[in-house]
Amino acid sequence: MNIKDIIQAKLAEIIHTVFQINDVNKTNEITLDVQQNKTEYEGDFTIVTFPLVKIVKKNPDAVAMELGDAFSTQSNFVESFNVVKGFLNLKIKNKFFLDNFNTIKENFDQVESKNQTVMVEYSSPNTNKPLHLGHIRNNLLGFSVAQILKQDGYDVIKTQIINDRGIHISKSMLAWQKSGTNETSESTGLKGDKLVGNYYVAFDKAYKKEIADLVEQGLDEDTAKKQAPIILEAQKMLLDWEKGDETVKNLWSEMNSWVYAGFAQTYQRLGVDFDQVQYESNTYLLGKDLIQEGLIKGVLYQKEDGSVWCDLSEEGLDHKLLLRGDGTSVYMTQDLGTAVERFKETSIQKLIYTVGNEQDYHFDVLFKILKKLGYTWAENLFHLSYGMVELPAGKMKSREGTVVDADDLMQEMYETAKAKAQELGKLENLSDEDKEKSYETVGLGALKYFMLKVDPKKKMLFNPAESIDFAGNTGPFIQYTYARIQSLLAKADYKEAVVSDYEINASEKELVMNLSNFKEVVSRAAETLSPAIVANYIYEVVKSYNSFYQNNPILNQDDENAKNFRLELSQLTGKTIKKGLELLGIGTVNRM
């Protein structure tokens, strides 16, 4: 428990004993905030008393004085207090800060198990194109949330469901067939996902040309889109796949294998992984049995054409199609079946879908239908909805080949980090191997931090040049502070020590209080599914440390207690920064 929480708990106890408030409703109305004191008045923490004043109907100063007296007599951590216009300022005993600091160090690596398993789904790409900028934000969010949940005591299963079937896959396959070149990833030297993506773009170009030709012959555009020979061929290929045509199935399997190999390389460089992988080709028929179950329960209804629907008007939504008249399912049906299978096949208590906010309606409908079908675990389904990410150049279009390729962006970040480091004269004393590692770690760290410091719900503009800055709220700035700490500890030949007799100054207190908040920050990030909370907390810790570092001599400190404490404080700060960055999927280097 951090210092603030200890004070807050004692405050609740004092309010009950001093003011004898037994009315539960009144007690619930009292929320007194404990805040770090940033005023010129003496004290480490400030308590705003006005909500209590309204209940007890006393003068604000009188209420604050009563609370202050109670803290002085009923706690062992308050040294003194003062009251200013209804604000109670508490000065905490030096020993309490020291004891709290030593407790944080001792318990830093302890994680209390929640005894719950959470499944986090992210990435879920299509096998007709390589991963792009949008996938990067998705992967980084999903992976980071999984890391944060683990740190908060949950067991986590990281999963993705690959969309490996459908008309979009058929388009790439058909374009490859029509090229007649029999190109492979091996023969071209291209990553497999890029090769297949090129054919997806080639299909779109051919399709647009056929549409233009048909319009020129007198057809309206909508009709031309439906009657273009190449789209009819692609639709037939999909039907052949569903019928099990051996030639189509073999080509589908081969081209997908190229893509999977390409995805694996991208994931490895991005630093994300999965505990399990599902494929839509194995799950697309799931959910049809739920339709019959829903009809029997009266939750679903059937129209004259045989189609099956769910009426969600009472939930503030519309009627949702779940089964077409010809008996084929829609995406919603598949997602219903997949969710049920996941809870049946794995021992999970929560399921989190990491999907962009353009699918908000889809998941709202999905969760409501599962509740209507009587699945109580539907209360524990969450949509980690996030805003789209753009570059200064604007939006991306896969079909037109104007996407920002994930591999290209990662390489650009590496090159930018390398150029920036050379410009600033950093890393000159490292070996070539260590330099390369640093360029990669710093470049990708810049990308990840810039993506994750923004609240997931917000649309964001990613600027590579801004992200690589070695000053300000950036990954490189945080990594540089970590490296500075490691250099300091190496020069001091640091060995762990327990300091029990040292008068902590103001900047040291501030840093101790920030470090004591780590576990609370992780819990809040886990609860809200927001890595941004961790990212911005690390930045605050780094700012606090740099202020401490500038104002407190360490290596040339004559007082041995002061030197040892400041080294201990530096060591714990470094450990906190490294762990926080790990939760964001970001690496560190010891020298920069």
DSSP string, 309-375: EEE-GGGTS-EEEEE-TTS-B-HHHHHHHHHHHHHHHS--SEEEEEEEGGGHHHHHHHHHHHHHTT-
Please give the model's pTM, rounded to 2 decimal places. Answer: 0.91
**Helices 560-583, 506-516: inter-axial angle, 10-degree rounding:** 30
Q: Please, where in the chain does CATH 1.10.730.10 lie? A: 414-583
- Per DSSP, the chain holds a count of helices (H) and strands (E) of 24, 14
Can you tell me the distance from the alpha carbon of 32 to that of 453, in angstroms, rounded to the nearest whole number?
A: 29
The pLDDT assigned to 28 comes to 55
Sequence-ordered list of residues with C-beta below 8 angstroms from that of 42, at least 6 positions apart, any chain: 80, 82, 89, 91
Structure tokens, 106: 């001792």
Can you tell me the distance from the alpha carbon of 445 to that of 451, in angstroms, rounded to the nearest whole number?
A: 10
Can you tell me the distance from the alpha carbon of 191 to that of 266, in angstroms, rounded to the nearest whole number?
A: 10
Per-position b or e across 371-410, b if 16+ CB within 10 A of its CB: bbbebebbebbbbbbbbbbbeeeeebebbebebbbbbebb
Q: State the Cα torsion 496-500-501-507 to the nearest 10°.
A: 70
Nearest residue to 450 (alpha-carbon basis) of 495, 424, 412: 412
The pLDDT assigned to 425 comes to 75
Task: Return the number of other C-beta atoms located less than 10 Å from residue 301's C-beta.
Answer: 13
**465, containing H or E segment:** helix 464-467
The pLDDT assigned to 510 comes to 92
Q: Which CATH class name applies to 3-92? A: alpha beta
The pLDDT assigned to 23 comes to 58
Summarised one tens digit per residue, pLDDT across range 377-396 is 999 999 999 998 877 765 44
Nearest residue to 386 (alpha-carbon basis) of 368, 418, 359: 359
Task: Return the number of other C-beta atoms located less than 10 Å from residue 435's C-beta.
Answer: 17
DSSP string, 78-92: EEEEEEETTEEEEEE
Structure tokens, 230: 């190449």
Can you tell me the distance from the alpha carbon of 192 to that of 213, in angstroms, rounded to the nearest whole number?
A: 32
Do the Cβ atoms of 586 and 449 come closer than 8 Å? yes
SS (H, E, C) 492-552: CCCCCCCCCCCCCCHHHHHHHHHHHCHHHHHHHHHHHCCHHHHHHHHHHHHHHHHHHHHHC
The pLDDT assigned to 395 comes to 46
The pLDDT assigned to 542 comes to 97
Can you tell me the distance from the alpha carbon of 551 to that of 548, in angstroms, rounded to the nearest whole number?
A: 5
414-583 is a CATH 1.10.730.10 domain: yes
Q: Please, where in the chain does CATH 3.30.1360.70 lie? A: 3-92
The pLDDT assigned to 495 comes to 92
The residue to which tokens 């209940």 are assigned = 55
Tell me the CA distances in angstroms from 429 to 35, 422, 481, 486, one per residue in order: 45, 12, 18, 16
Q: What is the DSSP letter of 22?
A: -
Structure tokens, 29: 């109305």
Reported as half-sphere exposure (CB side, CA atoms, 13 A), residue 267 has a value of: 18
Question: In order along the chain (592 residues), what is the average pLDDT of each group of 10 residues?
Answer: 85 84 57 82 89 85 93 93 93 92 93 96 94 94 98 98 93 96 94 95 96 95 96 95 95 96 97 96 88 93 96 94 89 93 95 96 96 96 92 52 80 91 79 91 96 93 83 93 96 91 92 94 97 98 96 92 96 98 96 80
The pLDDT assigned to 52 comes to 85
Radius of gyration of the chain (CA): 30
